[in-house]
């Protein structure tokens, strides 16, 4: 393989992996801290992408759409937690799966009613529509670099939030002992609502960022959901940093799988999963 | 305004179908030190957890500073200046010693900030030495100190200590009692649950004895101390 093509694949792997991390980090946090299996998490990615489409049509600019869409996604997440998920914490996993699977169907149907079943494109904002030439014939789009940069910034931000702020300390404490956190005067319900809404906002942002690359289409949440669960399991359930490592691993496996062995591209991700789980059945990092 | 901090009337609490508390009355005033005694399984911890809203009592009322707050929410009750050191500690092992303390820090009900990070460090020099260790790496005694230190970081008016010395080495136990005395002398009301009734009755003003979910004695601690029959009957093993 030519070095330039190799470089492009590396950049693509990073970008894809980092984008998956945005989705998976929320999934793993919600599972690790609140113990909820949320099958509807992929829908938040889908909702984000459609939000980007709708708001870009309205405002004419994706960046503006994201600025408007993020708080909307956060508020939507908080409302959903208050209305539905808050009642799931003490239920068993079967009931969680039933409710969240039902939500997938509802969200898909609502999407169909509101926007229809056509595939839509979203334009890359003019500011980032350029490409960086790498050789005479090959170049790399600035927008993909932007996605990677935003994701890296968010990963650092998430690390800072979890490790350096009191909110992060409370969240980590809450994942260990719910009663004790409350007995210290902390409103655990508000804490959970915040974490959940944050997870929704991150998944929706991933969808918004991906919209110009992948376009916007029915069922787009489904494949992301499955791959995100693979990441959560490989990374170690509940571990944000495990999810980051796993997401990058999957990003590379998927991208290089498609280039090197196109006939078995779909297999690469699950092969990685099988190998990791044989090596470490609890995932790369344990919850922490 | 009366000076009752925490009060329970006619509390009945169940765990599933087992009836644990049979109509318990409880109260503690500002600055008061109260010993809560009784053999294992008599309902002391259930009483505490019921008053904090961690368990919902089926009948009866809990009032905090005169406001009825039966059944919680726990964080609101705690915000009224009540700190809890649970049986079996309850530190966060996945947080460092520093983080365990920092996450709990807040001003008291009247805005008092008597207990700062620095003061907790002075009170528990052993914690200062292990400040960056994970909570899970501490010895049992250090964990207990951390739980008490963390409770103090909330600048409470009432501290509830459930079996704070259980299972600890004698030297550490002495250290814990020293700190409890210091807390009492600083004007914080304390509820102390402990097996060592001699120590409890010597440190407290008032004592309550709970037997099978009912209060069988509520009076001056000196009265308990001078009444070996009472101790033998309700507390002896």
Task: Please state, in angstroms and rounded to a whole number, the distance separating the CA atoms of residues A228 and A206.
Answer: 12
What does the pLDDT average to over A75-87? 96
More confident residue, A32 or A234: A234
> Are B179 and B124 spatial neighbours (Cβ–Cβ below 8 Å)?
yes
User: DSSP states of A147-159 as a string?
Assistant: HHHHHHHHHHHHH
Does some domain include residue A56? yes
CA B122, chain centre distance (Å)? 22
pLDDT at residue A1 greater than cutoff 70: no
Tell me how far the alpha carbon of residue A256 is from its chain's centroid: 21
Cα dihedral A18, A22, A23, A29 sign: positive
Residue A287: per-residue pLDDT: 55
Closest to A232 measured CA to CA, from A18, A32, A14: A32
Q: Do the beta carbons of residue B201 and residue B36 sit within 8 Å? A: no
Q: Return the pLDDT at A136.
A: 82
Task: Please report the pLDDT score of residue B75 as a whole number.
Answer: 95
Mutation target among B71, B87, B92 for the A interface, most CBs of A within 10 A: B92
What domains, with CATH codes, occur in chain B?
A: 4-234 (3.40.50.300)
Select from B90, B99, B102 the Cβ nearest to the Cβ of A180.
B90
The Cα B85–Cα A180 span in angstroms is 9
Does B54 contact A183 at a Cβ distance shorter than 8 Å?
yes
pLDDT 10s digits, A182-213: 999 999 999 999 999 999 999 999 999 999 99
Residue at A268 is within a domain: no
A55-81 in b/e form (b: 16+ CB < 10 A) is bbeeeeebeebbebbbeebbebbbebb
pLDDT of residue A94: 93
B215 by DSSP, 3-state: which?
A: strand
DSSP H or E run through A141 = strand A139-141
DSSP A69-102: HHHHHHHHHHHHHHHTGGGTTTS-HHHHHHHHHH
Q: Per-residue pLDDT averaged across A71-98, rounded?
A: 94
CB A228 within 8 A of CB A20: yes
pLDDT tens digit sequence for A242-280: 999 999 999 999 999 988 888 887 888 999 999 999 998
B104 touches chain A (CB under 8 A): yes
At B61, give phi and psi (nearest 5°). -130, 150
Interatomic CA distance for residues B33 and B182, integer angstroms: 12
With an 8 Å Cβ cutoff, is B83 touching chain A? Answer: yes
Residue of A nearest to B152 (CA): A184
Residues 6 or more apart whose CB falls under 8 angstroms from that of B107 comprise B113, B155
Q: How many domains does chain A have?
A: 1
Q: A90 CB near a chain B CB, below 8 Å? A: no
Q: Is the pLDDT of residue A157 over 50?
A: yes
Q: What domain range is A29 assigned to? A: 3-220
**Torsion over CA: B98, A30, A287, A11 (sign):** negative
The Cα A56–Cα A62 span in angstroms is 5
Residues of chain B falling short of pLDDT 70: 1, 237
Q: Is residue A247 part of a domain?
A: no
A282 pLDDT above the threshold of 70: yes
In a domain, A33, yes or no: yes
pLDDT for position A288: 46
In a domain, A63, yes or no: yes
Nearest-by-Cβ selection for B52 from A183, A186, A187: A183
> What average pLDDT is seen over chain B?
91
**ipTM tops the 0.85 cut:** yes
Whether B115 and chain A come into contact, CB under 8 Å, resolves to: no
Rounded distance, CA B119 to CA A195, Å?
32
Coil, strand or helix at A50: helix
- Asked whether the beta carbons of residue B78 and residue A183 sit closer than 8 angstroms, the reply is yes
Residues forming beta bridges with residue A131, ordered by sequence position: A141
Q: Which helix (H) or strand (E) holds B14?
A: strand B4-15
């Amino acid at each position: 393989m030519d070095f330039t093509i190799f470089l492009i694949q590396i950049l693509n792997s990073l970008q894809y992996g980092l984008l998956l991390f945005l989705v998976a980090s929320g999934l793993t946090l919600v599972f690790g801290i609140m113990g909820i299996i949320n099958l509807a998490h992929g829908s938040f990615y889908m909702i984000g992408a459609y939000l980007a489409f709708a708001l870009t049509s309205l405002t004419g600019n994706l960046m503006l759409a994201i600025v408007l869409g993020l708080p909307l996604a956060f508020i939507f997440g908080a409302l959903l937690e208050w209305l539905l998920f808050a009642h799931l914490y003490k239920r068993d996993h079967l009931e969680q799966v039933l409710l969240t699977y039902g939500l997938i169907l509802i969200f898909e149907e609502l999407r169909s009613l509101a926007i229809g079943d056509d595939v839509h494109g979203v334009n890359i904002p003019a500011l980032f529509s350029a490409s960086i030439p790498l050789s005479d014939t090959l170049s790399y789009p600035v927008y993909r670099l932007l996605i990677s940069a935003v994701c890296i910034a968010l990963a650092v931000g998430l690390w800072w939030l979890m490790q350096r702020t009191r909110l992060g300390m409370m969240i980590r404490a809450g994942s260990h002992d719910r009663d004790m956190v409350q007995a210290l005067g902390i409103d655990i319900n508000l804490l959970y609502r915040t974490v959940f809404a944050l997870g929704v906002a991150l998944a929706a942002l991933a969808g918004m960022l991906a919209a110009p690359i992948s376009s916007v289409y029915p069922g787009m949440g489904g494949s992301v959901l499955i791959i995100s669960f693979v990441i959560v399991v490989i990374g170690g359930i509940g571990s944000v940093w495990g999810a980051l490592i796993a997401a990058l691993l999957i990003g590379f496996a998927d991208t290089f799988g498609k280039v090197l062995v196109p006939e078995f591209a779909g297999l690469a991700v699950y092969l990685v999963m099988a190998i990791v789980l044989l090596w470490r059945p609890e995932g790369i990092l344990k919850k922490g | 305004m009366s000076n009752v901090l925490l009060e329970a009337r006619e509390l009945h609490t169940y765990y599933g179908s087992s009836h644990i508390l049979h109509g318990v009355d409880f109260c503690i005033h500002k600055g008061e030190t109260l010993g809560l005694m009784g053999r294992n399984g008599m309902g002391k911890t259930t009483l505490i957890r019921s008053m904090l809203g961690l368990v919902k009592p089926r009948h009866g009322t809990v009032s905090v500073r005169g406001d009825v707050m039966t059944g919680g929410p726990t964080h609101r009750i705690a915000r009224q200046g009540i700190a809890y050191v649970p049986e079996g500690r309850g530190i966060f092992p996945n947080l460092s010693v520093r983080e365990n303390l920092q996450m709990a820090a807040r001003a008291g009900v009247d805005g008092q900030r008597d207990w700062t990070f620095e003061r907790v460090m002075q009170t528990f020099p052993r914690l200062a030495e292990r400040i960056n260790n994970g909570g899970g790496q501490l010895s049992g005694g250090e964990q207990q100190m951390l739980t008490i230190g963390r409770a103090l970081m909330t600048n409470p008016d009432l501290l509830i200590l459930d079996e704070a010395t259980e299972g600890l080495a004698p030297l550490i136990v002495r250290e814990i009692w020293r700190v409890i005395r210091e807390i009492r002398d600083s004007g914080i009301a304390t509820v102390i649950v402990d097996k060592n009734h001699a120590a409890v009755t010597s440190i407290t003003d008032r004592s309550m004895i709970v037997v099978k979910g009912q209060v069988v004695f509520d009076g001056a601690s000196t009265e308990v101390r001078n009444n070996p029959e009472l101790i033998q009957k309700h507390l002896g093993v």
